[in-house]
Structure 1
Amino acid sequence: MHTMNRRPSTRYPLPLRVLHWGLALLLVLQLTLGFAAEYWTTRKTSDVLLALHFRLGILILGLMLLRLTLRLASSVPPAAEHLSRWRRCLQGSAHSLLYLLVLALPLSGHVIWVWMGADRTLFAGIQVPALFVPPDDETGRALAWYVHVYGAWLLSGLVVLHVVAAWHESLQEHAFVARRMGFGRSGLDQSETK
Protein backbone atom coordinates (compact mmCIF):
# COMPACT_ATOMS: atom_id res chain seq x y z
CA MET A 1 0.00 0.00 0.00
CA HIS A 2 1.44 3.34 -1.08
CA THR A 3 1.02 6.41 1.14
CA MET A 4 1.82 9.89 0.02
CA ASN A 5 4.27 11.74 2.22
CA ARG A 6 3.03 15.33 2.10
CA ARG A 7 4.40 18.24 4.05
CA PRO A 8 1.91 20.25 6.11
CA SER A 9 0.37 23.27 4.43
CA THR A 10 2.01 26.63 4.95
CA ARG A 11 -1.38 28.35 4.84
CA TYR A 12 -3.96 28.86 7.52
CA PRO A 13 -7.23 27.00 6.89
CA LEU A 14 -9.70 28.97 4.76
CA PRO A 15 -12.22 29.62 7.61
CA LEU A 16 -9.46 31.22 9.71
CA ARG A 17 -8.31 33.36 6.79
CA VAL A 18 -11.88 34.52 6.10
CA LEU A 19 -12.38 35.36 9.78
CA HIS A 20 -9.04 37.19 9.90
CA TRP A 21 -9.88 39.49 7.00
CA GLY A 22 -13.53 39.90 8.02
CA LEU A 23 -12.56 40.85 11.57
CA ALA A 24 -9.86 43.18 10.26
CA LEU A 25 -12.45 45.12 8.25
CA LEU A 26 -14.99 45.11 11.10
CA LEU A 27 -12.37 46.34 13.58
CA VAL A 28 -11.41 49.27 11.36
CA LEU A 29 -15.10 50.15 11.02
CA GLN A 30 -15.67 49.70 14.76
CA LEU A 31 -12.74 51.89 15.77
CA THR A 32 -13.87 54.54 13.30
CA LEU A 33 -17.43 54.47 14.69
CA GLY A 34 -16.17 54.71 18.26
CA PHE A 35 -13.81 57.61 17.64
CA ALA A 36 -16.38 59.41 15.49
CA ALA A 37 -19.03 59.07 18.20
CA GLU A 38 -16.65 60.24 20.91
CA TYR A 39 -14.76 63.05 19.18
CA TRP A 40 -16.07 64.04 15.74
CA THR A 41 -19.86 64.29 15.80
CA THR A 42 -22.79 66.08 17.41
CA ARG A 43 -24.57 64.50 20.37
CA LYS A 44 -27.52 63.35 18.25
CA THR A 45 -25.29 61.70 15.64
CA SER A 46 -23.13 60.30 18.42
CA ASP A 47 -26.12 58.48 19.94
CA VAL A 48 -26.91 56.83 16.60
CA LEU A 49 -23.26 55.84 16.05
CA LEU A 50 -22.94 54.44 19.57
CA ALA A 51 -25.99 52.20 19.04
CA LEU A 52 -24.33 50.83 15.87
CA HIS A 53 -21.03 50.60 17.75
CA PHE A 54 -22.66 48.45 20.46
CA ARG A 55 -24.26 46.06 17.95
CA LEU A 56 -21.09 45.74 15.93
CA GLY A 57 -19.12 45.11 19.13
CA ILE A 58 -21.35 42.15 19.98
CA LEU A 59 -20.88 40.77 16.44
CA ILE A 60 -17.10 41.17 16.73
CA LEU A 61 -17.11 39.40 20.11
CA GLY A 62 -19.05 36.47 18.64
CA LEU A 63 -16.79 36.20 15.60
CA MET A 64 -13.68 36.45 17.77
CA LEU A 65 -14.90 33.62 19.99
CA LEU A 66 -15.56 31.56 16.85
CA ARG A 67 -12.09 32.39 15.56
CA LEU A 68 -10.47 31.34 18.84
CA THR A 69 -12.42 28.08 18.84
CA LEU A 70 -11.40 27.30 15.25
CA ARG A 71 -7.81 28.34 15.93
CA LEU A 72 -7.55 25.92 18.86
CA ALA A 73 -9.23 23.11 16.89
CA SER A 74 -7.34 23.59 13.60
CA SER A 75 -3.94 22.53 12.41
CA VAL A 76 -2.06 25.73 11.62
CA PRO A 77 1.30 26.38 9.97
CA PRO A 78 4.39 26.37 12.20
CA ALA A 79 5.99 29.63 13.30
CA ALA A 80 8.31 31.41 10.89
CA GLU A 81 11.70 29.73 11.05
CA HIS A 82 13.50 32.67 9.43
CA LEU A 83 12.73 34.92 12.42
CA SER A 84 15.04 35.17 15.40
CA ARG A 85 13.78 33.86 18.74
CA TRP A 86 13.19 37.35 20.19
CA ARG A 87 11.20 38.40 17.09
CA ARG A 88 9.02 35.28 17.33
CA CYS A 89 8.46 36.05 21.02
CA LEU A 90 7.59 39.67 20.21
CA GLN A 91 5.25 38.56 17.43
CA GLY A 92 3.51 36.07 19.72
CA SER A 93 3.12 38.67 22.47
CA ALA A 94 1.67 41.22 20.04
CA HIS A 95 -0.83 38.68 18.69
CA SER A 96 -1.84 37.66 22.22
CA LEU A 97 -2.38 41.31 23.15
CA LEU A 98 -4.46 41.84 19.98
CA TYR A 99 -6.65 38.86 20.87
CA LEU A 100 -7.01 40.07 24.47
CA LEU A 101 -8.01 43.58 23.40
CA VAL A 102 -10.47 42.37 20.76
CA LEU A 103 -12.19 40.37 23.53
CA ALA A 104 -11.86 42.98 26.31
CA LEU A 105 -13.23 45.93 24.34
CA PRO A 106 -16.68 44.44 23.57
CA LEU A 107 -16.94 43.14 27.14
CA SER A 108 -16.04 46.52 28.67
CA GLY A 109 -18.37 48.21 26.18
CA HIS A 110 -21.17 45.89 27.29
CA VAL A 111 -20.56 46.85 30.93
CA ILE A 112 -20.73 50.55 30.04
CA TRP A 113 -23.85 50.00 27.93
CA VAL A 114 -25.67 48.13 30.73
CA TRP A 115 -24.64 50.79 33.26
CA MET A 116 -26.09 53.49 31.01
CA GLY A 117 -29.37 51.59 30.79
CA ALA A 118 -29.13 51.77 26.99
CA ASP A 119 -31.16 49.63 24.60
CA ARG A 120 -29.46 46.25 24.18
CA THR A 121 -31.60 45.14 21.22
CA LEU A 122 -29.55 43.72 18.37
CA PHE A 123 -32.20 43.10 15.71
CA ALA A 124 -35.70 41.61 15.41
CA GLY A 125 -36.29 42.08 19.14
CA ILE A 126 -33.29 39.94 20.18
CA GLN A 127 -31.65 41.45 23.25
CA VAL A 128 -28.18 40.97 24.65
CA PRO A 129 -28.57 39.86 28.28
CA ALA A 130 -27.45 42.40 30.88
CA LEU A 131 -25.49 39.73 32.84
CA PHE A 132 -25.39 42.00 35.92
CA VAL A 133 -27.32 44.69 37.76
CA PRO A 134 -25.25 47.87 38.10
CA PRO A 135 -24.56 48.65 41.76
CA ASP A 136 -24.83 52.17 43.21
CA ASP A 137 -21.04 52.42 43.37
CA GLU A 138 -19.85 53.38 39.87
CA THR A 139 -16.25 52.21 40.28
CA GLY A 140 -16.92 49.31 37.90
CA ARG A 141 -18.32 51.64 35.27
CA ALA A 142 -15.28 53.92 35.53
CA LEU A 143 -12.93 50.94 35.27
CA ALA A 144 -14.80 49.64 32.20
CA TRP A 145 -14.61 53.10 30.64
CA TYR A 146 -10.83 53.27 31.14
CA VAL A 147 -10.37 49.76 29.71
CA HIS A 148 -12.59 50.64 26.75
CA VAL A 149 -11.13 54.03 25.85
CA TYR A 150 -7.45 53.36 26.48
CA GLY A 151 -7.81 49.83 25.09
CA ALA A 152 -9.21 51.32 21.87
CA TRP A 153 -6.17 53.59 21.53
CA LEU A 154 -3.82 50.69 22.27
CA LEU A 155 -5.64 48.46 19.78
CA SER A 156 -5.41 51.19 17.13
CA GLY A 157 -1.66 51.41 17.63
CA LEU A 158 -1.24 47.63 17.54
CA VAL A 159 -3.32 47.37 14.36
CA VAL A 160 -1.09 49.97 12.67
CA LEU A 161 2.06 48.11 13.81
CA HIS A 162 0.55 44.80 12.67
CA VAL A 163 -0.22 46.21 9.21
CA VAL A 164 3.24 47.78 8.88
CA ALA A 165 4.96 44.54 9.98
CA ALA A 166 2.83 42.46 7.59
CA TRP A 167 3.51 44.90 4.74
CA HIS A 168 7.26 44.80 5.43
CA GLU A 169 7.15 41.01 5.57
CA SER A 170 5.25 40.82 2.26
CA LEU A 171 8.06 42.73 0.54
CA GLN A 172 10.65 40.15 1.61
CA GLU A 173 11.70 37.37 -0.73
CA HIS A 174 10.14 34.63 1.41
CA ALA A 175 6.85 36.58 1.92
CA PHE A 176 5.99 34.14 4.72
CA VAL A 177 3.03 36.06 6.13
CA ALA A 178 1.52 36.75 2.71
CA ARG A 179 1.56 33.04 1.85
CA ARG A 180 0.08 32.05 5.21
CA MET A 181 -2.80 34.50 4.84
CA GLY A 182 -3.70 33.40 1.32
CA PHE A 183 -1.71 35.63 -1.01
CA GLY A 184 0.70 34.16 -3.50
CA ARG A 185 1.55 30.50 -3.69
CA SER A 186 1.98 28.40 -0.58
CA GLY A 187 5.33 26.85 0.20
CA LEU A 188 3.87 23.43 -0.61
CA ASP A 189 2.71 24.64 -4.03
CA GLN A 190 6.10 26.16 -4.76
CA SER A 191 8.02 23.04 -3.75
CA GLU A 192 5.81 20.90 -5.99
CA THR A 193 6.59 23.03 -9.07
CA LYS A 194 10.34 22.79 -8.70
Structure 2
Amino acid sequence: MKAQTPGRYPLALRLLHWLLALLLLVQVMLGFAAEHWTPRAVSDALFPLHFKLGVLILCLMILRLGLRLRLPVPADDSDAPRWHRRIRSCVHALIYLLVLALPISGHVIWVWMGADRTLIGGLQLPPFFVPPHDDETGRALAWYVHVYGAWTLSALVGLHVAAAVFRQWQGKDSFIALRMGFGAMPQAKIREAWIHQGRDL
Protein backbone atom coordinates (compact mmCIF):
# COMPACT_ATOMS: atom_id res chain seq x y z
CA MET A 1 0.00 0.00 0.00
CA LYS A 2 1.39 3.37 -0.95
CA ALA A 3 2.40 5.53 2.01
CA GLN A 4 0.37 8.68 2.48
CA THR A 5 2.01 12.06 2.86
CA PRO A 6 1.97 12.84 6.60
CA GLY A 7 -0.82 15.14 7.69
CA ARG A 8 -2.75 14.88 4.41
CA TYR A 9 -5.67 12.63 3.54
CA PRO A 10 -5.63 10.64 0.27
CA LEU A 11 -6.84 12.51 -2.79
CA ALA A 12 -10.00 10.39 -3.14
CA LEU A 13 -11.08 11.20 0.42
CA ARG A 14 -10.31 14.89 -0.03
CA LEU A 15 -12.38 15.05 -3.20
CA LEU A 16 -15.29 13.23 -1.58
CA HIS A 17 -15.04 15.43 1.51
CA TRP A 18 -15.50 18.68 -0.42
CA LEU A 19 -18.02 17.21 -2.88
CA LEU A 20 -20.20 15.91 -0.04
CA ALA A 21 -19.86 19.20 1.82
CA LEU A 22 -21.18 21.05 -1.25
CA LEU A 23 -23.97 18.54 -1.92
CA LEU A 24 -25.09 18.53 1.72
CA LEU A 25 -25.30 22.32 1.74
CA VAL A 26 -27.41 22.25 -1.43
CA GLN A 27 -29.53 19.40 -0.05
CA VAL A 28 -30.32 21.15 3.22
CA MET A 29 -31.25 24.33 1.37
CA LEU A 30 -33.43 22.34 -1.04
CA GLY A 31 -35.22 20.61 1.82
CA PHE A 32 -35.92 23.78 3.78
CA ALA A 33 -36.95 25.65 0.62
CA ALA A 34 -39.33 22.90 -0.45
CA GLU A 35 -40.84 22.63 3.02
CA HIS A 36 -41.07 26.26 4.12
CA TRP A 37 -39.86 28.90 1.68
CA THR A 38 -41.55 28.27 -1.66
CA PRO A 39 -45.07 28.13 -3.11
CA ARG A 40 -46.71 24.74 -3.49
CA ALA A 41 -45.98 24.49 -7.22
CA VAL A 42 -42.27 25.12 -6.64
CA SER A 43 -42.20 22.67 -3.71
CA ASP A 44 -43.67 19.95 -5.91
CA ALA A 45 -40.75 20.46 -8.30
CA LEU A 46 -38.08 20.65 -5.59
CA PHE A 47 -39.03 17.54 -3.61
CA PRO A 48 -38.20 15.05 -6.43
CA LEU A 49 -34.84 16.78 -6.89
CA HIS A 50 -34.31 16.57 -3.12
CA PHE A 51 -35.04 12.83 -3.26
CA LYS A 52 -32.64 12.15 -6.14
CA LEU A 53 -29.86 14.18 -4.57
CA GLY A 54 -30.37 12.27 -1.32
CA VAL A 55 -29.82 8.97 -3.13
CA LEU A 56 -26.62 10.35 -4.68
CA ILE A 57 -25.37 11.55 -1.28
CA LEU A 58 -26.08 8.13 0.25
CA CYS A 59 -24.10 6.38 -2.49
CA LEU A 60 -21.17 8.79 -2.17
CA MET A 61 -21.18 8.44 1.61
CA ILE A 62 -21.05 4.64 1.39
CA LEU A 63 -18.16 4.99 -1.06
CA ARG A 64 -16.41 7.36 1.32
CA LEU A 65 -16.81 4.98 4.24
CA GLY A 66 -15.38 2.13 2.17
CA LEU A 67 -12.38 4.20 1.11
CA ARG A 68 -11.92 5.51 4.66
CA LEU A 69 -11.56 1.94 5.90
CA ARG A 70 -9.27 0.96 3.01
CA LEU A 71 -6.91 3.90 2.50
CA PRO A 72 -4.18 5.14 4.86
CA VAL A 73 -5.04 8.30 6.76
CA PRO A 74 -2.84 10.66 8.79
CA ALA A 75 -2.52 10.05 12.50
CA ASP A 76 -4.04 12.48 14.96
CA ASP A 77 -1.24 14.97 15.57
CA SER A 78 -3.22 17.10 17.98
CA ASP A 79 -1.91 17.68 21.49
CA ALA A 80 -5.42 18.35 22.79
CA PRO A 81 -6.62 16.62 25.96
CA ARG A 82 -8.11 13.13 25.66
CA TRP A 83 -11.64 14.33 26.42
CA HIS A 84 -11.35 16.88 23.63
CA ARG A 85 -10.27 14.22 21.14
CA ARG A 86 -13.13 11.97 22.24
CA ILE A 87 -15.66 14.74 21.66
CA ARG A 88 -14.18 15.35 18.21
CA SER A 89 -14.44 11.64 17.38
CA CYS A 90 -18.04 11.56 18.58
CA VAL A 91 -18.93 14.60 16.45
CA HIS A 92 -17.38 12.98 13.37
CA ALA A 93 -19.18 9.69 14.05
CA LEU A 94 -22.53 11.46 14.48
CA ILE A 95 -22.02 13.38 11.23
CA TYR A 96 -21.35 10.11 9.38
CA LEU A 97 -24.37 8.47 11.01
CA LEU A 98 -26.72 11.33 10.17
CA VAL A 99 -25.52 11.60 6.57
CA LEU A 100 -26.48 7.94 6.22
CA ALA A 101 -29.71 8.15 8.23
CA LEU A 102 -31.18 11.19 6.49
CA PRO A 103 -31.37 9.69 2.97
CA ILE A 104 -32.70 6.41 4.38
CA SER A 105 -35.41 8.13 6.40
CA GLY A 106 -36.21 10.31 3.38
CA HIS A 107 -36.63 7.18 1.26
CA VAL A 108 -39.01 5.73 3.84
CA ILE A 109 -41.13 8.90 3.71
CA TRP A 110 -41.02 8.91 -0.09
CA VAL A 111 -42.20 5.30 -0.34
CA TRP A 112 -44.93 5.93 2.24
CA MET A 113 -46.17 8.83 0.14
CA GLY A 114 -46.27 6.63 -2.96
CA ALA A 115 -44.13 9.17 -4.80
CA ASP A 116 -42.22 8.53 -8.01
CA ARG A 117 -38.85 6.89 -7.28
CA THR A 118 -37.44 7.31 -10.79
CA LEU A 119 -33.80 8.38 -10.87
CA ILE A 120 -31.61 9.46 -13.79
CA GLY A 121 -32.08 7.56 -17.05
CA GLY A 122 -35.38 6.02 -16.07
CA LEU A 123 -33.80 3.87 -13.35
CA GLN A 124 -36.28 3.31 -10.53
CA LEU A 125 -35.15 2.82 -6.94
CA PRO A 126 -36.83 -0.22 -5.33
CA PRO A 127 -39.13 0.54 -2.38
CA PHE A 128 -37.41 -2.10 -0.16
CA PHE A 129 -40.60 -2.36 1.94
CA VAL A 130 -44.38 -2.17 1.68
CA PRO A 131 -45.89 0.42 4.06
CA PRO A 132 -48.96 -0.74 6.00
CA HIS A 133 -52.22 0.96 5.05
CA ASP A 134 -53.57 1.34 8.58
CA ASP A 135 -50.49 2.41 10.54
CA GLU A 136 -48.60 5.69 10.07
CA THR A 137 -46.14 5.09 12.92
CA GLY A 138 -43.21 4.29 10.65
CA ARG A 139 -43.80 7.34 8.48
CA ALA A 140 -44.04 9.61 11.53
CA LEU A 141 -40.84 8.18 12.98
CA ALA A 142 -39.02 8.63 9.67
CA TRP A 143 -40.28 12.22 9.47
CA TYR A 144 -38.94 13.03 12.94
CA VAL A 145 -35.58 11.46 12.12
CA HIS A 146 -35.42 13.35 8.82
CA VAL A 147 -36.42 16.79 10.07
CA TYR A 148 -34.69 16.88 13.45
CA GLY A 149 -31.74 14.97 12.02
CA ALA A 150 -31.30 17.73 9.41
CA TRP A 151 -31.21 20.38 12.14
CA THR A 152 -28.80 18.29 14.21
CA LEU A 153 -26.54 17.66 11.22
CA SER A 154 -26.48 21.38 10.43
CA ALA A 155 -25.42 22.15 14.01
CA LEU A 156 -22.74 19.43 14.04
CA VAL A 157 -21.30 20.53 10.70
CA GLY A 158 -21.19 24.10 12.01
CA LEU A 159 -19.32 22.85 15.09
CA HIS A 160 -16.95 20.83 12.89
CA VAL A 161 -16.17 23.86 10.71
CA ALA A 162 -15.71 26.12 13.73
CA ALA A 163 -13.29 23.63 15.33
CA ALA A 164 -11.22 23.34 12.13
CA VAL A 165 -11.07 27.13 11.70
CA PHE A 166 -10.15 27.57 15.37
CA ARG A 167 -7.34 25.04 15.10
CA GLN A 168 -5.97 26.75 11.99
CA TRP A 169 -6.18 30.15 13.70
CA GLN A 170 -4.65 28.83 16.92
CA GLY A 171 -1.80 26.93 15.28
CA LYS A 172 -1.23 29.34 12.39
CA ASP A 173 -0.16 26.32 10.32
CA SER A 174 -2.71 26.28 7.46
CA PHE A 175 -4.26 23.20 9.06
CA ILE A 176 -7.28 23.03 6.72
CA ALA A 177 -5.19 23.39 3.56
CA LEU A 178 -2.63 20.85 4.75
CA ARG A 179 -5.23 18.24 5.73
CA MET A 180 -7.89 18.69 3.06
CA GLY A 181 -6.33 21.00 0.47
CA PHE A 182 -5.12 20.23 -3.05
CA GLY A 183 -1.98 22.32 -3.46
CA ALA A 184 1.57 21.11 -2.97
CA MET A 185 2.41 20.39 0.64
CA PRO A 186 5.49 22.40 1.77
CA GLN A 187 8.52 20.20 2.38
CA ALA A 188 9.04 21.80 5.79
CA LYS A 189 5.58 20.65 6.82
CA ILE A 190 6.26 17.12 5.54
CA ARG A 191 9.49 16.94 7.55
CA GLU A 192 7.77 18.32 10.65
CA ALA A 193 4.97 15.75 10.33
CA TRP A 194 7.38 12.83 9.97
CA ILE A 195 9.37 13.98 13.01
CA HIS A 196 6.13 14.38 14.98
CA GLN A 197 5.23 10.76 14.15
CA GLY A 198 8.68 9.56 15.21
CA ARG A 199 9.75 8.66 11.66
CA ASP A 200 13.00 9.44 9.88
CA LEU A 201 13.05 11.00 6.40
Q: So what's the TM-score if we normalise by structure 1?
A: 0.90
SS in 1 for 2:119: strand
Instruction: Verify: 1:126 aligned to 2:123, yes or no.
Output: yes
Contact 2:164 2:176 in 1 (8 A): yes
- Return the offset for 1:181: 1.0
SS in 2 for 1:158: helix
Contact 2:34 2:44 in 1 (8 A): yes
- Return the offset for 1:187: 7.3
2:150: which partner in 1? 152
- Return the offset for 1:170: 1.9
1:112-150 C-alpha deviation (Å, 9 max, x unpaired):
000000000011110111000011211000000000000
Q: So what's the TM-score if we normalise by structure 2?
A: 0.87
Q: Give the paired residue count.
A: 188
Cα RMSD for the two superposed structures: 2.0
- Return the offset for 1:173: 2.4
SS in 2 for 1:121: coil
Inter-partner Cα distance in structure 1 for 2:25 and 2:5: 32
Q: Which amino acid in 1 is paired with 2:120?
A: F
- Return the offset for 1:84: 1.5
Structure 2: 5+ residue runs without aligned partners? Answer: 193-201
Q: Which amino acid in 2 is paired with 1:28?
A: L
Q: Which portions of structure 1, spanning 4 or more consecutive aligned residues, are displaced by more than 3 angstroms?
A: 174-178, 183-189
Structure 1: 5+ residue runs without aligned partners? Answer: 1-5
- Return the offset for 1:90: 0.7
Q: Which amino acid in 1 is paired with 2:56?
A: L
Instruction: Verify: 1:28 aligned to 2:16, yes or no.
Output: no
Residues 91-110 of structure 1 aligned to structure 2 (within 5 Å): 91-110=88-107
Inter-partner Cα distance in structure 1 for 2:109 and 2:75: 39
- Return the offset for 1:81: 2.9
Inter-partner Cα distance in structure 1 for 2:140 and 2:147: 11
After superposing the two structures, state which structure 1 stretch, 168-177 or 77-86, moved more: 168-177
Contact 2:164 2:175 in 1 (8 A): no
Inter-partner Cα distance in structure 1 for 2:79 and 2:189: 17
1:164: which partner in 2? 162
2:109: which partner in 1? 112
